């Protein structure tokens, strides 16, 4: 029962990690680029990205699990990771609020903005190569906050049988791939709609990013100083994932209706 709980925890952690604001921003940008060029990889950008990201995360988890009995992170490491996460999420939220509210944003589809993706060269961000998209996902995994999250289940796995780190790594990857694949399908569906619905849905996704970025950063800041106020944040991750599923269903339904109107 204890191992089943650990698997469920890691799976939900993967789902929630796929909702990282920078993930969604990068997937949004690459999906738009490939859709503009009518490239078939557009639907699967999230899958490629999360696979590359997950492979690095799982690899880090296996290494940490192997050394967990002889190695522990310094006490100050968690504080540094929290600060980096809070600052980056606040920047993402502010950047997207600026883009949502500026007058020129009303003329076209809103484009989600991230911090990490801004650091990537343009020729890397504008790619149709699935392996390069996987590589981008892998680069995104090389962050302090990702390593910190991975260390939670990696250390737990290191105390169990030798196969557990690999199984948990695969579970994490599956959870994250589900979320990021759904996200790229949502973006693809929204951008295929050239009507007012497509634009409003795109802007709605922008406000979801703002909500996630500001909400998580404020939560992390508050619980850092008041640990007793911490809640079951995994349930929050599931709730936001469910919201993404609703958005996906809405886009699909509206898209089919629009196709029927055009064909008739």
What sign does the dihedral 153-158-159-165 (CA atoms) show? positive
- Among 138-147, 190-199, 223-232, the minimum mean pLDDT is found in 190-199
- State yes or no: pLDDT of 128 exceeds 80: yes
Burial class of residue 160 in the structure, from the number of CB atoms within 10 Å of its CB (0-12 exposed, 13-18 middle, 19+ buried): middle
pLDDT at 48: 92
142 and 251 within one domain? no
pLDDT at 18: 79
The closest alpha carbon to 214, from 123, 86, 127, 60, belongs to 86
Mean pLDDT of the chain: 75
69 and 80 within one domain? yes
116 and 246 within one domain? no
Going by pLDDT thresholds of 50, 70 and 90, the confidence category of residue 146 is: low
- State yes or no: pLDDT of 1 exceeds 60: no
- State yes or no: pLDDT of 50 exceeds 70: yes
The closest alpha carbon to 95, from 241, 214, 182, belongs to 214
Its pTM stands at 0.76
Q: How many other C-beta atoms are found inside a 10 Å radius of the C-beta of residue 67?
A: 12
Q: State the DSSP code for 128.
A: -
114 and 245 within one domain? no
- State yes or no: pLDDT of 160 exceeds 70: no
Whole-Å CA distances, 220 to 79, 138, 152, 191, 236: 11, 25, 17, 33, 13
- State yes or no: pLDDT of 170 exceeds 80: yes
Residue with tokens 């339904």: 253
Give the Cα-Cα-Cα angle 243, 140, 112 (nearest 5 degrees): 45
Going by pLDDT thresholds of 50, 70 and 90, the confidence category of residue 31 is: confident
112 and 51 within one domain? yes
Domain count, the chain: 2
């Amino acid at each position: 029962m204890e191992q089943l709980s650990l698997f469920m925890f890691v799976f939900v952690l993967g789902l929630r990690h796929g909702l990282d604001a920078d993930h969604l921003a990068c997937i949004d940008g690459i999906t738009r680029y490939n859709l503009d060029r009518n490239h078939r990889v557009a639907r699967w950008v999230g899958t490629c990205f999360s696979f590359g990201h997950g492979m690095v995360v799982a690899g880090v988890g296996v290494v940490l699990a192997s050394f967990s009995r002889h190695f522990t992170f310094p006490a100050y490491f968690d504080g540094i990771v929290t600060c980096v996460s809070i600052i980056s999420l606040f920047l993402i939220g502010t950047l997207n609020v600026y883009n949502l509210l500026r007058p020129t944003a009303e003329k076209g589809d809103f484009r989600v903005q991230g911090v990490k993706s801004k650091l990537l060269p343009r020729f890397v961000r504008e790619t149709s190569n699935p392996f390069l998209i996987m590589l981008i996902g892998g680069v995104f995994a090389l962050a302090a906050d990702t390593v910190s999250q991975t260390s939670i289940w990696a250390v737990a796995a290191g105390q169990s049988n030798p196969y557990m780190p690999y199984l948990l790594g695969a579970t994490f990857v599956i959870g994250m791939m589900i979320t990021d694949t759904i996200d790229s399908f949502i973006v693809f569906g929204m951008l295929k709609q050239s009507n007012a619905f497509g634009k409003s849905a795109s802007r709605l996704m922008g406000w979801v990013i703002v909500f996630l970025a500001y909400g998580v950063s404020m939560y992390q800041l508050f619980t850092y100083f008041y640990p007793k106020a911490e809640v079951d944040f995994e349930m929050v991750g599931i709730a936001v994932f469910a919201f993404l599923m609703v958005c996906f269903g809405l886009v699909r339904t509206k898209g089919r209706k629009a196709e029927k109107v055009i064909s008739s």
